Amino acid sequence: MNPSDCRKSAENLRRASFTLEAALLSPCILLVIFAVFYLNFHVCSRACLSAAACEQAISGHDPENPELFAAMNLSRVKEESGNTRIVSFAADTIALYGGWKWSISEKGEYAIVDPVSFIRKLRAAESLPED
């Protein structure tokens, strides 16, 4: 075997090792990229549900359910008890890998205030003498 054949053989082995490393690392890199996208969908849906629950609890009216990009099976429960209004949302993040889903549940709670009686109480408090 002459030296030029050995150099060619070593160069071929080096190229093959790069190909093998790329074949092993590519799925890991793609898994990390898609996991970041999936987490982004989950966090975005959770933020939208939290904002919608708080807004509906404060306003008291029943608009349509919020539009979510990456969620399904959206359900809403509204409860009013005494001086408290509670709006709860529940949804599932989309399934990317074989039915694996994250469940999201958010709750907005607000103390109902009668504005007329609240303003009367404020005016009555203003008229109290300061000691």
**Higher-pLDDT residue of 128, 26:** 26
**Overall size of the chain counted in residues:** 131
Contacts of 90 (CB under 8 A, 6+ apart): 73, 74, 75, 77, 103, 104, 105
pLDDT in tens, 85-117: 888 888 888 776 677 778 888 888 888 877 888
Q: What is the mean predicted confidence (pLDDT) over 2-13? A: 65
For 57, 78, 99, 121, the CA distances from 61, given in Å and listed in that order, are 8, 10, 35, 26
CB 49 within 8 A of CB 66: yes
- Please check the confidence at residue 124 and state whether its pLDDT lies above 80: yes
How far apart are alpha carbons 38 and 99 in whole angstroms?
A: 13
